[in-house]
Copies of this chain bind each other. A is one copy, B any other.
Amino acid sequence: MNKTELIQQIQLKKSFLCLGLDPDLTKIPKHILEKNDDSIFLFNKEIIDATASYCVAYKPNTAFYEAYGIKGLQSLEKTILYLNKNYPNHFLIADAKRGDIGNTSTMYAKAFFESFNCHAITIAPYMGSDSVKPFLEFKNKWAIVLGLTSNTGSADFQQLYLNEKELYATVIETCAKWGTHDNMMFVVGATKAELLTKIRAIIPNHFLLVPGVGAQGGSLQDVCKYGLTKDIGLLINSSRGIIYASSGTDFAEKAAEEAKKIADEMSEILKG
């Protein structure tokens, strides 16, 4: 999916919500666990069907599938095939945070862009250019590089100063030169919304994938205030706050309600 198509989807739905699909067997409703051999897929499927009209992107985090071994990865594959077939206009992000030396990053790119047919993958930038560039060589695919993350650990290295600039600002500035705003996005946590002004000064036109709204405490209004561009330029992710809104038989319905609340707020913001 290219940038124009993504913007069209956002305008059509008046939503720039990305839904994180992070299935956790300790949180999935009991009736789902009891009735199906592949409860992760069934859980995802019901969540997807209930929320598809309120979001433009889905973001499975690979950790939550790998934790259950091959069986978990088969659930991931089924989830992706289901999205590819039934919701081809939803932007599909593998939240995998990969990155390795050149020949190995190429293998990861093949894994997620070809074997798993996702539109985008999140990338850890620590290993530098040859670890990021292989992901930029696939047409209509995206590298989403970690810039400033939403967690407390982001203070340990990302926010340290190199000369007069924080590491995350250097990472964003440098990585942005390797790609374009048509094949690269950055992760910027909603918990650091006030820093978005500084980031927008470096990358005025790149899309940002923004986790941390909801369970982690970030504010949608603040992120939009500092981060919106004329092309919207934001994908705001929520995971736990939506998919675990209820642990009862009404989980999909409650997830839809939560997703709709955010989408409605986004629609209001886009009007303004």
Q: Which residues of A contact B (CB under 8 A)?
A: 22, 24, 61, 63-64, 66-70, 72-74, 77, 97-102, 104-105, 107-108, 110-112, 115-116, 124-132, 146, 149-158, 160-163, 167, 170-171, 174
A163 partner residues in chain B, CB cutoff 8 A: 161
Residue contact B108 to A63, C-beta cutoff 8 Å: yes
Residue contact B67 to A70, C-beta cutoff 8 Å: no
Expressed in whole angstroms, the Cα–Cα distance for A74 and B171 within the complex equals 36
A171 partner residues in chain B, CB cutoff 8 A: 157
Expressed in whole angstroms, the Cα–Cα distance for A158 and B104 within the complex equals 19
Q: Chain B: which residue is nearest A68 at the CB level?
A: B115
Residue contact B61 to A100, C-beta cutoff 8 Å: yes
Expressed in whole angstroms, the Cα–Cα distance for A131 and B69 within the complex equals 20
A132 partner residues in chain B, CB cutoff 8 A: 153
With contacts A125-B157, A162-B160, A174-B156 taken as known, whether A101 is within 8 angstroms of B67 at the C-beta atoms is: no
With contacts A126-B125, A153-B128 taken as known, whether A111 is within 8 angstroms of B61 at the C-beta atoms is: no
Residue contact A111 to B152, C-beta cutoff 8 Å: no
Expressed in whole angstroms, the Cα–Cα distance for A108 and B68 within the complex equals 10
A101 partner residues in chain B, CB cutoff 8 A: 149-151, 153
Q: Chain B: which residue is nearest A126 at the CB level?
A: B126
**Given A127-B149, A128-B153, A157-B170, 11 additional A-B pairs, CB 8 A:** A67-B115, A101-B150, A124-B126, A124-B127, A125-B126, A126-B149, A127-B146, A128-B155, A132-B153, A162-B167, A167-B167
Nearest Cβ in chain B — how far from A50, in angstroms?
Answer: 23
CB-contact partner of A130 in B110, B129, B152, under 8 A: B152
Expressed in whole angstroms, the Cα–Cα distance for A160 and B102 within the complex equals 20
